[in-house]
Structure 1
């Protein structure tokens, strides 16, 4: 079986370190990809450190992958050797249920296979992600990267991008809508760019006065300091949609009060119980909706790449050598990155 270089966590407390892995032999519907860039998502840290309690070690993280095809299986028709392609958060699903038939593989009724720390549906092996020099993926889960995109900055579109694009598209954000974006990290800054490109008036909510200038630089029309009671009162009943990218527990009630009737508060960052509790009156009295959204299906992930190429949208990134990944994790925990790290895999390939 093909050998690949990677960086892996061997336990919840060990730093990521070089680790040789085996990639599967090419199946008839597979493509082999040499990885050129891989974005770093906060989910990578959660998996490496077993924050969700389901990690299977060794863990090779990485699900924002850009590379080029080096080989194709005998039945592959959509791709050819040399194509620049992407791989996001999924590498397989049952492909037969109602969700998969609708192109919503992220909601596969039988469970999708994660790009890392998933279980291959054919051979039962644990999947390894993009912190490696190569990967083998079923062609259905491979995306075409438009030539207009910068391949390095395109990598985070495969997670941060689709995670924010999908709910805005699904809930029908369009010109004239007022959209609030909660949080200004890797997800939040992409949410601003997409909402603006859809024609919405966009407001960033932040806790820090020091981030106002940066929020405006990212394209926000307005900024609300969420810890300022007067500013929050001034936007009561104002928004059609709130895109909530905050990844830690926070009080939703003050934000729900900022929605107009039939307004929608969309959670994309929080995977923990809502605490403190939501006051049901904040929903019932204005027919407001509290919703959630998970990444996007493969057709929609292709759509977001094409949308970004058309609208000249990219993620703000800081390039990273693979050997510095542990320092990058520590910086991410402190919020010290604007707004996404991307690993240049040449640093791994060229390592001794």
Structure 2
């Protein structure tokens, strides 16, 4: 795909088809966006599938602050290597690969040197809605191709279909990281709040880790799904009796919801020395009665995706346990419809764009 200046044989930027939001709250539309030339340590990826994350909607609608437009969302990318730079050693043409929520970091701060690039002190470079080190905007996976440094590219094992693998690059690692960090496993009682794009992967992964898993959902309408995905128990949070019955039950509660919760109520479900970990990011501030923490020496925490190494570990874990996302594959011309359905909780459990339709 690389284009060259015929006079100098210097690689030039190439434009590729994409779907972009031209402005905040505007419907996404078909367009083209620039991709940089393949550098020495870059891989050109032919994108096959791109997941639709709730984060895409937040950012395309300025829910988390002012965005960079036109915006091509998408940080759940699965595809195949189409070209490699001269210095690439990790991948070859034809390899199955993925890209998650960031495509670069400073590489020199304490966190980067410790292999925790997601917490880069200077800020990891987002796959979209950000600026790269060259000062140019980054564009995400709702497109046909992307160029990424090999060090920020993941290998997708053969045991996972590419369409089911795409959501693992955000939803999978967003749940895997806190579950592993807070030692979910045999003998531990884990609750997943919300059974959506994030939560359904939390249930699958926590079950595979060996924990006793409970789903806490607003109603019981997804109970059958929750049990099928690996939950041992399912409770409706709209019923006040749930909080009385389950008080002090869980070693770990992971909240995946992107709306403000009554944190004190959910902390009451946590055992002494247990933790309530938030991976959902509401647009509005939340409040907390600190006695909810003091009583029981409980921890209120947050977690954000994972490092490149941990994301690769998650992909290998999912392949070994036969885990993929529950998906609905759609053509690109249904992206705007899919956004509205996500907001209405009308998807089980992740939309994935077939990028051949862009």
TM-score class, shorter: over 0.9
- Once superposed, what is the RMSD of the aligned Cα atoms? 1.1
Q: Any residues of structure 2 matched to 1:81-96 within 5 Å, and which?
A: 81-96=93-108
Q: C-alpha distance in 1, partners of 2:258/2:284?
A: 11
Distance 2:249 2:232 in 1: 14
Q: How does 1:247-258 map to 2 (within 5 A)?
A: 247-258=258-269
- The corresponding residue for 1:42 is 54
Partner of 2:216: 205
Q: 1:153 aligns with which of 164, 180, 190?
A: 164
Secondary structure at 1:241's aligned position in 2?
Answer: strand
Check the 8 A contact 1:91/1:137 in 2, yes or no.
Answer: yes
1:62 to 62, 74, 78: 74
Q: What TM-score comes out, normalization by structure 2 length?
A: 0.95
1:162 maps to 2:173:
yes
What's the offset of the Cα at 1:246? Answer: 1.0
Structure 1 position 272, deviation (Å): 4.1
**How far does the alpha carbon of each residue in 1:24-45 deviate from its partner, in whole angstroms, 9 at most, with x for none?**
0111111111100100101111
Distance 1:213 1:37 in 2: 28
Q: Distance in 1 between matches of 2:237 and 2:333?
A: 38
Asked if the contact 1:41/1:340 (under 8 Å) is kept, the reply is yes
- Correspondence for 1:319: 329
| Contact 1:26 1:72 (C-alpha < 8 Å) held by counterparts | yes
Secondary structure of the equivalent of 1:210? coil
Provide structure 2 residue ranges, at least 5 long, that are not aligned to the other structure. 1-12
CA–CA separation in structure 2 for the residues paired with 1:264 and 1:114: 28
Q: Which aligned pairs between 1:248-327 and structure 2 lie closer than 5 A?
A: 248-272=259-283, 274-275=285-286, 277-327=287-337
1:76: how far off? Answer: 0.9
Contact 1:224 1:232 in 2 (8 A): no
What is the deviation of 1:292?
0.2
Alignment match of 1:190 (pick from 176, 201, 204):
201
The offset of 1:324, in angstroms, is 1.0
Aligned-pair distance for 1:73?
Answer: 1.0
Moved over 3 A (4+): 271-274
Q: Distance in 1 between matches of 2:100 and 2:242?
A: 38
Count of residue correspondences: 346
- Cα 1:3–1:272 shift into 2, 3 Å: closer
Q: Any idea what SS the aligned residue of 1:189 has?
A: helix
Q: Distance in 1 between matches of 2:44 and 2:220?
A: 47
Q: How far off is 1:273 after superposition?
A: 5.2
1:17-166 equivalent positions in 2, closer than 5 A: 17-121=29-133, 123-166=134-177
| Residue 226 (structure 1) aligned with residue 237 (structure 2) | yes
Deviation of 1:301 after TM superposition, in Å, equals 0.5
* Shift, 1:345, TM fit: 1.0
State the Cα deviation string for residues 147-199 of structure 1 (Å, max 9, x = none): 11111100000000000000011111120100011011011111111111111
Partners of 1:238 and 1:209 lie apart in 2 by 20
Stretch deviating more after TM superposition (33-42 or 10-19): 10-19
What SS does the corresponding residue of 2:222 show, helix, strand or coil? helix
SS in 2 for 1:265: strand
Equivalent in the alignment of 2:3 = none
Structure 1: runs of 5+ lacking an equivalent: none
The C-alpha deviation readout for 1:207-241, integer Å capped at 9, x for no partner, is 11322222222221011221222232111111100
